[in-house]
C-alpha cells in the first residue's frame, strides 16, 4: 500500500514528538534526582549543630555559613520544583499531540484500505 506524502509527514512529526517526550522524561528524572539530593542535604544540615560548614567548590572545600547554604539550597529547590512543573506541562502537551497524530494517522490509513 502506497502511503501519501501527508501521512508520511504526520508519521515523521509523530516520531519527533515521541523523541521529544523521551527527552523530557530524561530531564524530569534528572531534576527529580537533584531535588532528592537537595532534600537529603537540607535534612543533614538540620541535624548538625555546627554554625559553619564546608562547601565543595570544584576540587576544594570552602568554609561557609550554614544558614547561607540552607538559603541557597532552598532557592535552588524552589527553582527545580518550578522547572519540574514546567516539564510536566510540556510532557502532557507533547503526549496529547502524540495521541492526536496517532489517531489522524490511523484514520488516514484506514481510509486507504
Identify the pLDDT of residue 1. 63
13 CB-near residues (< 8 Å, 6+ apart): 101
Q: Phi-psi region for residue 9, left (φ > 0), alpha (ψ -120 to 50) or beta?
A: alpha
| Position 43 pLDDT exceeds 70 | yes
pLDDT bucket at 112, cuts 50 / 70 / 90: confident
CA 95 to chain centre: 14
Amino acid at each position: 500500500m502506497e502511503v501519501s506524502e501527508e501521512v508520511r509527514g504526520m508519521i515523521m512529526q509523530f516520531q519527533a514528538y515521541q523523541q521529544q517526550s523521551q527527552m523530557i522524561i530524561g530531564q524530569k528524572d534528572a531534576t527529580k534526582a537533584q531535588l532528592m539530593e537537595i532534600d537529603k542535604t537540607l535534612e543533614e544540615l538540620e541535624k548538625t549543630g555546627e554554625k559553619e560548614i564546608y562547601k565543595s567548590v570544584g576540587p576544594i572545600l570552602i568554609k561557609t555559613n550554614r544558614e547561607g547554604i540552607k538559603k541557597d539550597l532552598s532557592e535552588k529547590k524552589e527553582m527545580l520544583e518550578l522547572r519540574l512543573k514546567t516539564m510536566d506541562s510540556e510532557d502532557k502537551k507533547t503526549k496529547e499531540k502524540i495521541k492526536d497524530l496517532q489517531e489522524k494517522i490511523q484514520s488516514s490509513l484506514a481510509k486507504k484500505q
